[in-house]
Structure 1
Amino acid sequence: MPHFTIEYSANLDARVDFDRLCRSVHETIMQTGLFELGAVRVRTIRSEHYAVADLLPENGFIDMSFRIGRGRSEDEKKRTGEAIFATVTRELEDLFATPHFALTLEIREIDPQLSWKKNAIHPRLRNADTR
């Protein structure tokens, strides 16, 4: 962990560079110094079907979910969320010029007793760090 998911309405495809957005979020996550590189995942999920607010076809949304393992203080989590939200808000500045866009972010801690992982990337990156 951490896993960062950007769920978005399909009507944003032509208006957002999602590759750039993912890379910007990844960079912001790494800048916090709280997460190991081999664990970071940033991805998008396109929602083809949705109903937003008053159902105008131009209404769009991005809902961001950041799932992290335990071990960070409330202040660290809050600072991380604020940094990510600021990065995304800057990236999407043009969308806020219309009254048809909603952006949300939620951070959730994962119970380690209910989470299973196997990661072949960690050893490669950890070994590279020791060279």
Structure 2
Amino acid sequence: MPHFTMDYSANLDGKVDFGALCRVVHAEILGTGLFETGAVRVRAIRCEAYAIADLLDENAFIDMSFRIGEGRSQEDKRRTGEAIFTAVTKHLRKLFETPHFALTLEIREIDPALSWKKNAIHPRLRKTNG
């Protein structure tokens, strides 16, 4: 872990380079020093069907969800959220020039007793970086 997901309204196609935005978020996550490189996953998921606020066609959203394993302090989580939200807001500044865009971020801790994982990337990166 961590897994970072951006659900976004399909009307942002052509307005946002989601590949570049994923890399911005990835860099911020690694920049915290709290997560191993081999664990980081950042993805954007296009939402074709949605209904936003007053239903104007121009309304758009990006809803960001950051799922992390337990063990980080409240301050570390807050600092991480602030860094990511600031970087994404800066990257998307043009979208805030209109009154039709909403951006959200939530960080959630995963219960380790209810989480299973198998990662072949970790050993390779640990060997390279170790």
Q: TM-score under structure 1 normalisation? A: 0.99
Q: CA deviation at 1:33?
A: 0.2
Aligned partner of 1:91 in structure 2 is 91
Cα RMSD of the aligned pairs, angstroms, is 0.4
Q: Percent identity?
A: 73
Match in the other structure for 1:48: 48
Structure 2 runs not aligned, ≥5 long: none
**Structure 1 position 122 matched with structure 2 position 125:** no
Report Cα offsets for 1:52-73 as digits up to 9, x if no partner: 0000001000000000000000
Distance 1:111 1:96 in 2: 35
Matches of 1:38 and 1:113 in 2, distance apart?
21
Q: Report the alpha carbon displacement of residue 45 of structure 1 after superposing the two structures with TM.
A: 0.7
The total of aligned residue pairs comes to: 130
Q: Distance in 1 between matches of 2:29 and 2:44?
A: 16
Structure 1 gap ranges (5+) = none
Q: Which amino acid is 2:33 matched to?
A: G
The Cα shift of 1:129 comes to: 1.0
Aligned equivalent of 2:9: 9
Following the alignment from structure 1 to structure 2, what is the Cα–Cα distance between the partners of residues 129 and 104? Answer: 34
- Give the aligned partner of residue 105 of structure 1: 105
2:68 paired residue number = 68
Runs of 4 or more, structure 1, over 4 Å off, are none
What is the TM-score when the length of structure 2 is the normalising length? 0.99
Once the two structures are TM-superposed, the CA of residue 43 in structure 1 deviates from its matched residue by: 0.1
**What is the DSSP-based 3-state SS (H/G/I as helix, E as strand, rest coil) of the residue aligned with 2:34?**
coil
